[in-house]
């Protein structure tokens, strides 16, 4: 238990150090006559300097992917913008993003990855993937040859849809200081999948998988494959099995209706796990694959049975799911002209803007 807390503190200090601020903002907008300097992500990337921000405007037309060789922060409209704004339009990609040398320290927040996700190469490290929706694809995050450190993957909804493939594929590379927390993982394939959440994470150190919800409508689905030496805490496994892990520390997890309800098993160790008990999620069906469900435990051991009496699943831990709908940037709530709609040349106009800060 002490070990996991120390590792988490270490990892979070790394993420604080790589945050991007005081940057030029480049707006990407592919709406017809929409305001913005660029219509493609690649053009905005090529014009940006290290440390700049790209904002992807919400659009009914998907954006093409891009190859990153710079440290940039990329913000979309959010995973579920209708919860915080007046419309439901998202910033969605029809092809993926590739991170190559030079893109260390980048952030990707509030994007709808539709079909393809992130491909990471050349030891790119210290990146953050937050509050995104990954859907309709397989290997939604995949690491190429190299060694990787300091990754934060949190508050994302992953709907993996490739048979016999995984959501996050480490491809047996080397990983240190990796935190995967407060995500929802599900499988929409119609076939029973092995290692559909994590695959190829056998060479790891100081890696944590915590406060995630893993669910499926098929008990034959297995979450892990070749996953070793993780600390796994406060996770909810609903129908999807937590099998496929070795030499992991498993504390305060709950299983329900899986093919591997008993924790720990095999070469794994751990305490205070709850076996084959309904987590009593507030408004939930394991047959529905959408981030709009209420995944919060209403009662029972999932409500208070986490480490130190905390909540299991995505509403506990360091990245509460309540904040996952949109990026943590201000949103304009109202805009009005208070001094008349026309002014003479050289005159002035009074504009009132009301905005809210997102957590």
The answer as to whether 337 is a domain residue is: no
pTM of the predicted model, to two decimals?
Answer: 0.91
List, for residues 120-178, the tens digit of each pLDDT value.
999 999 999 999 999 978 899 999 999 999 999 999 999 998 787 899 999 999 999 99
- In tens digits, the chain (359 residues) has pLDDT values of 334 433 444 434 434 433 444 579 999 999 988 888 999 999 999 999 999 999 999 999 999 999 999 999 999 999 999 988 778 899 999 999 999 999 999 999 999 999 889 999 999 999 999 999 999 788 999 999 999 999 999 999 999 987 878 999 999 999 999 999 999 999 888 788 889 999 999 999 999 999 999 999 998 899 999 999 999 999 999 999 999 999 999 999 999 999 999 999 999 999 999 999 999 999 999 999 999 999 999 999 999 999 999 999 999 999 999 999 999 988 776 767 766 667 778 778 777 777 777 88
The answer as to whether 224 is a domain residue is: yes
The answer as to whether 119 is a domain residue is: yes
The answer as to whether 288 is a domain residue is: yes
Query: What is the maximum alpha-carbon separation in the chain?
Result: 79
CB 100, CB 121: distance < 8 Å = yes
DSSP-derived secondary structure for 46-103: HH--TT-EEEE---SSPBP-EEE-S--EEE-S-SSGGGTSS-----EESS-EEE-TT-
List, for residues 211-245, the tens digit of each pLDDT value.
999 999 998 899 999 999 999 999 999 999 999 99
The answer as to whether 346 is a domain residue is: no
Range of the domain at 164: 2-328
Rounded CA Rg of the chain? 21
Phi, psi of 250 (to 5 degrees): -115, 105
The answer as to whether 352 is a domain residue is: no
CB 118, CB 129: distance < 8 Å = yes
- Who contacts 88 (Cβ-Cβ below 8 Å, separation ≥6)? 81, 82
On the question of a cis peptide bond just before residue 264, with omega within 30 degrees of 0, the verdict is: yes
* Number of folded domains that form the chain: 1
The answer as to whether 357 is a domain residue is: no
Three-state secondary-structure class, residue 253: coil
CA 162 to CA 164: how far, in whole Å?
A: 6
Q: What CATH number is attached to the domain comprising 292? A: 2.160.20
């Amino acid at each position: 238990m002490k070990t996991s807390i120390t590792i988490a503190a270490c990892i979070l200090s790394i993420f604080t150090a790589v945050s991007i601020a005081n940057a030029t903002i480049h707006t990407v907008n592919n709406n017809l006559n929409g305001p913005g300097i660029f219509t493609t992500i690649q053009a905005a990337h090529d014009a940006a300097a290290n440390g700049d921000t790209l904002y992807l405007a919400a659009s009914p037309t998907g954006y093409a992917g891009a190859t990153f060789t710079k440290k940039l922060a990329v913000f979309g409209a959010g995973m579920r913008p209708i919860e915080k704004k007046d419309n439901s339009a998202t910033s969605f990609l029809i092809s993926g993003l590739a991170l190559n040398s030079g893109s260390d320290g980048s952030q990707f927040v509030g994007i709808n990855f539709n079909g393809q996700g992130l491909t990471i190469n050349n030891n790119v490290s210290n990146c953050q993937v937050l509050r995104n929706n990954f859907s309709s694809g397989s290997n939604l995050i995949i690491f190429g040859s190299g060694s990787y450190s300091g990754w934060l993957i949190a508050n994302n909804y992953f709907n993996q849809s490739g048979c016999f493939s995984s959501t996050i594929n480490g491809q047996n590379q080397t990983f240190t200081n990796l935190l995967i927390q407060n995500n929802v993982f599900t499988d929409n394939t119609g076939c029973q999948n092995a290692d559909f959440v994590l695959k190829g994470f056998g060479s790891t150190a100081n890696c944590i998988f915590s406060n995630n919800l893993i669910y499926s409508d098929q008990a034959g689905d297995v979450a892990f494959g070749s996953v070793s030496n993780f600390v796994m805490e406060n996770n909810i496994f609903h129908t999807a099995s937590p099998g496929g892990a070795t030499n992991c520390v498993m504390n305060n997890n709950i299983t329900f209706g899986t093919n591997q309800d008993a924790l720990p098993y095999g070469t794994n160790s751990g305490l205070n796990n709850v076996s084959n008990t309904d987590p009593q999620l507030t408004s939930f069906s394991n047959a529905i694959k959408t981030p709009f469900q209420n995944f919060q435990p209403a009662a029972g051991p999932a409500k208070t049975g986490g480490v130190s009496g905390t909540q299991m699943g995505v509403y506990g831990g360091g990245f509460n799911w309540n904040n996952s709908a949109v990026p943590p940037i201000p949103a304009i709530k109202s805009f009005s002209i208070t001094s008349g709609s026309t002014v003479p040349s050289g005159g002035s106009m009074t504009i009132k803007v009301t905005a809210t800060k997102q957590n």
